[in-house]
Structure 1
Amino acid sequence: MSTQVRDDPDATRYVIETDGAIVGAAYYNRFEDHIVFTHTEVDEGHQGEGLASQLVQSALDDVRTAGLRVVALCPYVRSWLQRHPDYQDLQR
């Protein structure tokens, strides 16, 4: 199974693809100095595979590279950040 995360700025979301099919997304609103994650979802048939965690980590790595801060309105992103102290510095 080939998995890839990419930013889809036209749809204001990061997507995770498995074998070329989009199976999840983390939606956001981007501002000049920060990004607000509003909702994360993974298709029902792919839940429990760790894809949401992979999606959020890759999105946050991209956010870090861009020099942005994070506002986590999405409960999943908020709980992911709480479980990963090495990403706490991204929170606004």
Structure 2
Amino acid sequence: MQVDFEDGGTSGRYTIRTKDGEAVSTFSKAGEKIIIIDHTEVDDALRGLGYGEVLIEHIVTDMRAQGKKIVPLCPFAASQFRKHPEWADVLN
């Protein structure tokens, strides 16, 4: 499954595109070492198939590799962090 990354300077997004729709998670940068996941949206045709979790997991992996911390403001992202205590090391 391909996850695309776009960096807009002060914000960014991770996207999965399929023939049936897309899943997107957006974030804002809060300085050099913190990002805030502010929104995750999955098209109806893709809901319940794990696309949102894949996005959040991808963000966690990238931020861990970059030594950055995450604030999961988005309710979906926050729920994923509660389900995955192994991601606690990247929480701010």
Q: After TM superposition, is the score higher than 0.5?
A: yes
Give structure 1 regions of 4+ aligned residues with deviation exceeding 3 angstroms. Answer: none
Aligned to 2:23: 24
- Any gaps of 5 or more consecutive residues in structure 1? none
Residue 79 (structure 2) pairs with residue 79 (structure 1): yes
CA distance in 2, matches of 1:14, 1:80: 16
- Measured after TM superposition, the shift of residue 6 of structure 1 is 2.3
Letter of the aligned partner of 1:15 in structure 2?
T
Aligned to 1:35: 35
Letter of the aligned partner of 1:24 in structure 2?
A
TM-score by length of 2: 0.87
Aligned to 2:53: 53
Task: Supply the RMSD in Å over aligned alpha carbons.
Answer: 1.7
CA contact 2:21–2:46 (8 Å) conserved in 1 = no
- Any gaps of 5 or more consecutive residues in structure 2? none
* Aligned partner of residue 2 in structure 2, secondary structure: strand
Letter of the aligned partner of 2:28 in structure 1?
N
- Measured after TM superposition, the shift of residue 22 of structure 1 is 6.2
Letter of the aligned partner of 2:51 in structure 1?
L
Q: How many percent of aligned residue pairs carry the same amino acid?
A: 30
2:7 aligned to 9, 16, 23, which one?
9
* Aligned partner of residue 41 in structure 1, secondary structure: strand
Letter of the aligned partner of 2:81 in structure 1?
L
Q: How many residues align?
A: 89
- Measured after TM superposition, the shift of residue 9 of structure 1 is 1.0
